[in-house]
Structure 1
């Protein structure tokens, strides 16, 4: 389907170039083609030059085998290979990124470790890995201006892929934990944004990187429950302890990882969500 769409775009582009050549000259058509090709090349280079080494807090497999084992298991359920690297990011979201040579990096938002349980994090990770697996490699490389019309045309196909990713999420964890995670995520993102804006100032003043622990405790307070209710979550089912228990010696490793993301977790940073 994608191949047919690209052929159609190429045919339309050839028609435009032919029209330009007929109305003006072959020189103008050639110049237009050169400009478009240069634009696509520059976009490709800019998209590919960013290296994962500079993004987020790197998770060493030997130091944190529990988290890696979880990702290994979920990747097997999703039917894809385990990402080459895991990093913790500053946002309440999970994301799979692919770089030159097919190098894949799974970015798990550090706030997820405080807002979700282990079972819920498995579901979220499963959905992201499955979604990335179901997307054609060409789709992840196409410019948004080209890809967006294709997504609108194939909306039903996209919906089917989303349903498949949801099914993988449930298989990677269980139905209740998956439903709980996906209901919580938008509310957690909103509550985390407000919490980070107010509480990060205290952390910056005293240089205490304990935002994630305090956020987890805040969710159980009357104030946190009220904030969640305002964000649309009125029930808070428990599915085990916080996801940071996947880390080795979380009381020591979690502050260390937060310290690596100290600036990104700051109060003035713009939040990215799923």
Structure 2
């Protein structure tokens, strides 16, 4: 399918250039071709950098944190895909899976460990693993300028992929938990953004390394309930303990990992205060 799509793009480009050559001359055709090449190259250079390019994530050792690794391995089996070669904790409220040169890396947002329960994290991880598995390696490496029209053409397949990812999430954690987790994510991301900004504004003595724990506690307060409601979550159901319980000795390991990601708790460049 991908090879056919690329062939279609080449054929369209060739047709346009041929038409210009027929209507005008070779000079105009050459100029159009140069313009297309320069525009494509410029868009490729200006494409948004990935999370892995923008910051250093905290690496999770399999021997030190077997609980988190075991959960990911189990969910990978449910998704009928291979486990990642590494797990890292990132600073954002999301989970992402990438692959380069056959090396697969799963980045689990550290805020997820405070915003979700262990079972809800299973659902989110399963959703990500299943969604990635349905994408071909070539498609995963396509530049955005090519990927966008490709996905428009294969919209029906994308819908099937999304449905498959939801099915895996349900199989990994149960229907109620999976629906709750996937529904919460956008709201959690919004509330976490504001919570982190407010933490970054206070004096240094309050910038303690228990940021994720305090966020978890905040969600159960009246202020947290109000913030979630504004973000679109009317009811907040609990499905077990916080996901950080998957870490070994979380009281010790969680502050250490938080220091690696939020050492100064400063406001990010794209999160400037008004």
Which bin holds the TM-score, normalised by the shorter protein? 0.7 to 0.9
How does the TM-score come out when normalised to structure 2? 0.87
Q: Structure 2 vs 1, CA of residues 269 and 123 (structure 1 numbering), >3 Å: closer, same or farther?
A: farther
Paired residues for 1:7-156 under 5 Å:
7-22=7-22, 23-25=24-26, 29=30, 32=33, 36=37, 43=44, 55-99=56-100, 101-156=101-156
Distance of 2:15 and 2:109 partners within structure 1 = 46
How does the TM-score come out when normalised to structure 1? 0.87
- The Cα shift of 1:190 comes to 1.1
- The Cα shift of 1:25 comes to 2.4
Distance of 2:191 and 2:31 partners within structure 1 = 53
Answer whether contact 1:20 1:29 (CA < 8 A) is retained.
no
Q: Structure 2 vs 1, CA of residues 57 and 196 (structure 1 numbering), >3 Å: closer, same or farther?
A: same
Distance of 1:92 and 1:49 partners within structure 2 = 15
- After superposition, the C-alpha distances for 1:185-226 in whole angstroms (9 at most, x for unaligned) are 111111111111102334744552111010001111111111
SS of the residue corresponding to residue 238 of structure 1 reads coil
Q: Structure 2 vs 1, CA of residues 53 and 70 (structure 1 numbering), >3 Å: closer, same or farther?
A: farther
Distance of 2:50 and 2:224 partners within structure 1 = 41
Q: Which residue of 2 aligns with 1:226?
A: 226
Answer whether contact 1:198 1:267 (CA < 8 A) is retained.
no
Answer whether contact 1:20 1:26 (CA < 8 A) is retained.
no
- After superposition, the C-alpha distances for 1:35-68 in whole angstroms (9 at most, x for unaligned) are 7289559949x99999779631111111111111
Answer whether contact 1:18 1:29 (CA < 8 A) is retained.
no
5+ residue gaps, structure 2, are none
Answer whether contact 1:74 1:125 (CA < 8 A) is retained.
yes
Distance of 2:251 and 2:203 partners within structure 1 = 17
SS of the residue corresponding to residue 88 of structure 1 reads strand
Q: Structure 2 vs 1, CA of residues 269 and 92 (structure 1 numbering), >3 Å: closer, same or farther?
A: farther
Distance of 1:236 and 1:176 partners within structure 2 = 12
Q: Structure 2 vs 1, CA of residues 12 and 3 (structure 1 numbering), >3 Å: closer, same or farther?
A: same
Answer whether contact 1:200 1:211 (CA < 8 A) is retained.
no
Answer whether contact 2:17 2:32 (CA < 8 A) is retained.
no
Q: Which residue of 1 aligns with 2:239?
A: 239
SS of the residue corresponding to residue 89 of structure 2 reads strand
Q: Structure 2 vs 1, CA of residues 172 and 49 (structure 1 numbering), >3 Å: closer, same or farther?
A: closer
SS of the residue corresponding to residue 111 of structure 2 reads helix
5+ residue gaps, structure 1, are none
